[in-house]
Structure 1
Amino acid sequence: MAEFFDQIADGEPGLALFLNAGDPSLDILADLVFMLDDAGVDCLELAVPFPGSVTDGPVIRRSHERALALGVGLDEVLTFISNVRPKLHRLRIALLADWSYSIKSRPMAEVVGDIAEAGADGLLLHAVPPRVRPGYYQATKDAGLPVVTTCYHKVSTQQVMAEAAEHASAYLYLVAQYGRSGTAPADGFSELAGTIAELRLDTHVPIAVGFGVKSRADVTTVHALGADAVIVGSAGVARVEEALAYNRDVVSEFADFVRSVHPAHTLGTLRS
Structure 2
Amino acid sequence: MKRLRRTMLFMPGNNPGMLQNAGILGADSIILDLEDAVSLTEKDSARILVSEAIKNVDYGNVEVVVRVNPFTTEFAKKDIDVIARVKPDTLMIPKATEEELIAIDKILTKIESEEGFDAKSIKLIPLVETAYGLENVYSIIKSCDRIVAILLGGEDLTSDLGIVRTKPGEEIFYARNKVAVACRAMKVDSIDTPFTDTNDFDGLAIDTRKAKSLGFTGKAAISPKHIDTIHSVYAPSLKEIKHAQRVLETMEEAESEGKGVFSLDGKMVDAPVINRAKNTVELARILGLI
Normalising by the smaller structure, the TM-score range is 0.5 to 0.7
**1:48–1:157 CA distance, 2 compared to 1 (3 A):** closer
Q: Which runs of 5+ in 2 are unaligned?
A: 9-25, 36-42, 109-119, 155-166, 237-290
Over residues 74-99 of structure 1, what are the superposed CA-to-partner deviations in whole Å (9 max), with x where a residue is unaligned?
211221243122xx5xxx22313245
Higher helix share: 2
Contact 2:128 2:153 in 1 (8 A): no
**1:170–1:33 CA distance, 2 compared to 1 (3 A):** farther
Match of 1:122 among 124, 134, 146: 124
Q: Residue 31 of structure 2 aligns with which residue?
A: 17
SS at match of 1:48: coil
**Aligned-residue CA RMSD (Å):** 3.8
Q: Residue 144 of structure 2 aligns with which residue?
A: 143
Q: How far off its partner does 1:140 sit?
A: 3.0
1:206-217 map, 5 Å: 206-211=217-222, 213=223, 215=224, 217=225
Q: Residue 75 of structure 1 aligns with which residue?
A: 77
Q: How far off its partner does 1:135 sit?
A: 4.0
- Report the residue type matching 2:123 in the other structure: D
SS at match of 2:84: helix
Q: Residue 19 of structure 2 aligns with which residue?
A: none
State, as a whole percentage, how many aligned pairs show the same letter: 11
Q: How far off its partner does 1:151 sit?
A: 5.8
What TM-score comes out, normalization by structure 2 length? Answer: 0.49
- Report the residue type matching 2:138 in the other structure: Y
Contact 2:219 2:230 in 1 (8 A): no
- Report the residue type matching 1:96 in the other structure: I
Q: How far off its partner does 1:148 sit?
A: 1.7
Contact 1:4 1:171 in 2 (8 A): no
1:106-185 map, 5 Å: 108-117=97-106, 118=108, 120-125=122-127, 127-130=129-132, 132-144=133-145, 145-150=147-152, 152=154, 154-155=168-169, 156-168=171-183, 169-177=188-196, 184-185=197-198
Q: Which runs of 5+ in 1 are unaligned?
A: 52-67, 100-107, 178-183, 229-272
In structure 1, distance between residues paired with 2:202 and 2:54: 32
**1:126–1:35 CA distance, 2 compared to 1 (3 A):** farther
Structure label with greater radius of gyration: 2
What TM-score comes out, normalization by structure 1 length? Answer: 0.52
Q: How far off its partner does 1:207 sit?
A: 0.8
Contact 2:192 2:220 in 1 (8 A): yes
Establish whether residue 42 from structure 1 lines up as the match of residue 67 from structure 2: no
Over residues 7-59 of structure 1, what are the superposed CA-to-partner deviations in whole Å (9 max), with x where a residue is unaligned?
99xxx7513233217463434322212345544432324231699xxxxxxxx
In structure 2, distance between residues paired with 1:46 and 1:209: 13
Q: How far off its partner does 1:173 sit?
A: 2.7
Contact 2:221 2:227 in 1 (8 A): no
Q: Residue 223 of structure 1 aligns with which residue?
A: 231
In structure 2, distance between residues paired with 1:159 and 1:7: 22
- Report the residue type matching 2:77 in the other structure: D
- Report the residue type matching 1:127 in the other structure: E
